[in-house]
Amino acid sequence: MTKDEYRCEINRLSAYVTMKELLRDMGINASNYYAFMAGEDRRLGSGACDRIIEALKRRPISPN
């Protein structure tokens, strides 16, 4: 996957998720995540992106 594809997939899956809490639970620096999502490709590696996507896929979606 390219970095832009990672961003697109993370955006799609994280629509109703509080990312700061998820990132903290995963041990990923929130400022690196937000910089990556803003376009800085070097802030997150593909392994971290894969871990975030997998965690988002496992999270229950709350209707509230």
Predicted pLDDT of residue 43: 95
Domain membership of residue 35 (yes or no) is yes
Q: Mean pLDDT in runs of 10 for the chain (64 residues)?
A: 96 91 95 97 96 92 59
What is the SS3 assignment for 5? helix
Domain count, the chain: 1
Q: How many CB atoms lie within 10 A of CB 9?
A: 17
Domain membership of residue 63 (yes or no) is no
Would you say how long the chain is, in residues? 64
Domain membership of residue 44 (yes or no) is yes
CA distance 57 to 60: 8
Predicted pLDDT of residue 64: 53
Domain membership of residue 11 (yes or no) is yes
Predicted pLDDT of residue 52: 97
Range of the domain at 15: 3-58
